[in-house]
Amino acid sequence: MSSATPAQGPTVAPVCPRHTDRISYVSCQRCGRPACPQCQRSASVGVQCVDCVKASSKAAPVNRTAFGGATRAGRPKVTITLMGICVAMFAASWVLPNDYIFRTFAYAPFLTESQPWRMVTSAFLHSASPLHIAFNMYALWILGNALEPAFGRIRFLAVYLISALAGSVGVLLLSPLDTAVVGASGAVFGLFGALFVVQRKRGGDLRQIVVLLLINAAIGFLIPGIAWQAHLGGLLAGALCTAAIVYAPRKNRNILQWGAMAAVLVLAAALAVYKVGTFPDFIIG
């Protein structure tokens, strides 16, 4: 009798698990699954699929700054974004008719109860004078380049926004009810306060910062139309938030940092609510 060769079944071509309509004879070096050209990522040896690359990225340890923020190379993206919003709003204020931007987003204390969001949106507006926005954007660029890499993007943004809100709270507490304000000065002074605390923590020279703060404070009192109340509120909030960031111990650092910043935010909100409660009954937004 002669022996018969076993019949071979049809060979199934390997397909990419993410794109099942694509045949691929290239396999991932980690999981061994086929990977089409769209899903291939170059590795030190061979090719990995996009899923394995994502998994390894999540498992990799995140480098942290001295204050707990994630380390990221490149330009300070939050600073640039904040500047971009301010410049866009400045341009819109020239293009849109009838002062629409100011009537919609500027802040005055008597609007606090009915339109509280203006306490933050006003920090992205500037008066018609190019010098106003030019000074604030220059200061934001300098301070952002120093503080955003040190804090990390999220912490830096939190300090900025809380300082902006606190600047409006300063206006609410210390200015007449019909005082209209715009500008990033409150938030910028918050960053000045933040830089002061950081320099003190690091043992750096504080004289230049103090002189700069005194000069800007004097300008706020000497030149009409500048809300020194916003400067003061932003400065205090920025310094308090930053003290929480830089002096928090490593153990439970995130909880302590964010808890303290939340406390500053709650304090600012409580002061605003208290002040609104003292308004005359005829004040409406």
Residue by residue, what is the 3-state secondary structure of the chain?
CCCCCCCCCCCCCCECCCCCCCECCCECCCCCCECCHHHEEECCCCEEEHHHHHHHHHHCCCCECCCCCECCCCCCHHHHHHHHHHHHHHHHHHHCCCCHHHHHHCECHHHCCCCCCHHHHHHHCCCCCHHHHHHHHHHHHHHHHHHHHHHCHHHHHHHHHHHHHHHHHHHHHHCCCCCCECCCHHHHHHHHHHHHHHHHHHCCCCHHHHHHHHHHHHHHHHCCCCCHHHHHHHHHHHHHHHHHHHHCCCCCHHHHHHHHHHHHHHHHHHHHHHHHHCCCCCCCC
Mean pLDDT to the nearest integer, 184-207: 92
16-28 pLDDT per residue, tens: 888 888 888 888 8
Residues 96 and 211 both lie in one domain: yes
Q: How confident is the model at residue 214 (pLDDT cuts 50, 70, 90)?
A: confident
Residues 88 and 43 both lie in one domain: no
Mean pLDDT to the nearest integer, 217-236: 82
Q: Which of 241, 41, 77 is nearest to 152 (CA)?
A: 77
230 in any annotated domain? yes
25-60 pLDDT per residue, tens: 888 888 888 888 888 888 777 788 888 888 877 765
Whether residue 185 lies in the annotated active site: yes
pLDDT at residue number 62: 63
Q: Which domain holds residue 40?
A: 15-59
Residues 123 and 40 both lie in one domain: no
Q: How far apart are CA 234 and CA 231, in angstroms?
A: 5
pLDDT at residue number 215: 81
Whether residue 126 lies in the annotated active site: no
Residues 52 and 170 both lie in one domain: no
Residues 163 and 241 both lie in one domain: yes
Residues contacting residue 132 through CB under 8 Å, at least 6 positions apart = 126, 183
285 in any annotated domain? no
pLDDT at residue number 198: 94
9 in any annotated domain? no
Mean pLDDT to the nearest integer, 156-177: 97
| CATH number of the CATH domain containing 100 | 1.20.1540.10
pLDDT at 1 over 50: no
Share of the chain above pLDDT 70, in %: 91
Residues 21 and 156 both lie in one domain: no
Residues 96 and 201 both lie in one domain: yes
Lowest mean pLDDT among 1-10, 29-38, 122-131: 1-10
Q: Which of 24, 93, 163, 185 is catalytic?
A: 185
Residues 101 and 233 both lie in one domain: yes
> Is pTM, for the whole model, over 0.95?
no
Mean residue pLDDT of the chain comes to 88
Q: Name which residue leads in pLDDT, 256 or 202.
A: 256
Residues 21 and 81 both lie in one domain: no
Q: Which residue has the tokens 């396999």?
A: 27
Residues 88 and 224 both lie in one domain: yes
Lowest mean pLDDT among 9-23, 104-118, 269-283: 9-23
Share of the chain above pLDDT 90, in %: 58
Residues 138 and 50 both lie in one domain: no
pLDDT at residue number 71: 73
101 in any annotated domain? yes
Mean pLDDT to the nearest integer, 119-132: 91
